[in-house]
Structure 1
Amino acid sequence: MSLLFLALKGNSYFYAGQLMAMSIIHGGPPQFLSPVLTEALICGPEKVIVSAEDVANEEIHSQIILIRDASSEDALEDAVSKASSILALSGCFRRTDMQNRGEVAIDIASWYVLQRTRAAYESFSEGLTALGMLNALKTYPMQLRCLFVESIERLTAEHLENLFKVHLSEAGSNKYHGECITLGFWRDYLQDAELKLTTVSLEEVLVFVTGSDKIPALGFSPAPSVEFLHDEDHRFPIANTCENVIRLPLKSKYEYFKKDMDFGIKNSHGFGRP
Structure 2
Amino acid sequence: MTTHDDRDKFLHQYGDKLIDQGFGNPYNMSIENKDKLFKQIIKQLIFFRESSEINQFQKGMNEVCQFWDVVVENAQAFKDAFCTSPTPFTKDSFLALCKTTFSEVGSNRRREEQDTQYAWEMFLLDIEEKCVDVCFSELLVFITGADKPPCRGFQQKISIAFYDQEPGVKRNPFSSTCSLQLSLPRNIQDSDILKELMLTALKDSYGF
5 Å-filtered alignment, 1:122-137, equals: 128-131=61-64, 132-136=67-71
Partner letter of residue 185 of structure 2? P
TM-score normalised to the size of structure 1?
0.51
Contact 2:127-2:136 within 8 A present in 1 as well: yes
Which segments of 5 or more consecutive residues in structure 1 lack a partner in the other structure?
22-125
Q: Secondary structure in 2 aligned to 1:135?
A: helix
Determine the structure 2 residue equivalent to 1:235.
171
1:259 aligns with 2:196: yes
Partner letter of residue 86 of structure 2? I
5 Å-filtered alignment, 1:7-18, equals: 13=51, 16-18=54-56
Change over 3 Å in CA distance of 1:16–1:266 after alignment to 2: same
| Pairing partner for 2:181 from 245, 253, 265 | 245
Distance (Å, rounded) in 1 between the aligned partners of 2:196 and 2:146: 23
1:201 aligns with 2:128: no
Contact 1:206-1:214 within 8 A present in 2 as well: yes
Distance (Å, rounded) in 2 between the aligned partners of 1:203 and 1:14: 28
Change over 3 Å in CA distance of 1:269–1:188 after alignment to 2: same
Q: CA deviation at 1:14?
A: 7.1
User: Which of 148-157 and 130-139 deviates more?
Assistant: 130-139
| Pairing partner for 1:170 from 104, 107, 129 | 104
Structure 1 or 2, whichever has the larger Rg, is 1
Contact 2:137-2:148 within 8 A present in 1 as well: yes
Contact 1:164-1:226 within 8 A present in 2 as well: yes
5 Å-filtered alignment, 1:145-156, equals: 145-156=79-90
Q: CA deviation at 1:186?
A: 1.0
Contact 1:237-1:265 within 8 A present in 2 as well: no
User: Which of 144-153 and 254-263 deviates more?
Assistant: 144-153
Which segments of 5 or more consecutive residues in structure 2 lack a partner in the other structure?
1-41
Question: How well do the aligned residues superpose, as a CA RMSD in angstroms?
Answer: 2.7
Partner letter of residue 182 of structure 2? I
Q: CA deviation at 1:18?
A: 3.8
Q: Secondary structure in 2 aligned to 1:216?
A: coil
Q: CA deviation at 1:141?
A: 2.9
* Alignment size in residue pairs: 158
TM-score normalised to the size of structure 2?
0.65
Q: CA deviation at 1:263?
A: 1.0
Change over 3 Å in CA distance of 1:165–1:145 after alignment to 2: same
1:141 aligns with 2:179: no
Partner letter of residue 174 of structure 1? N
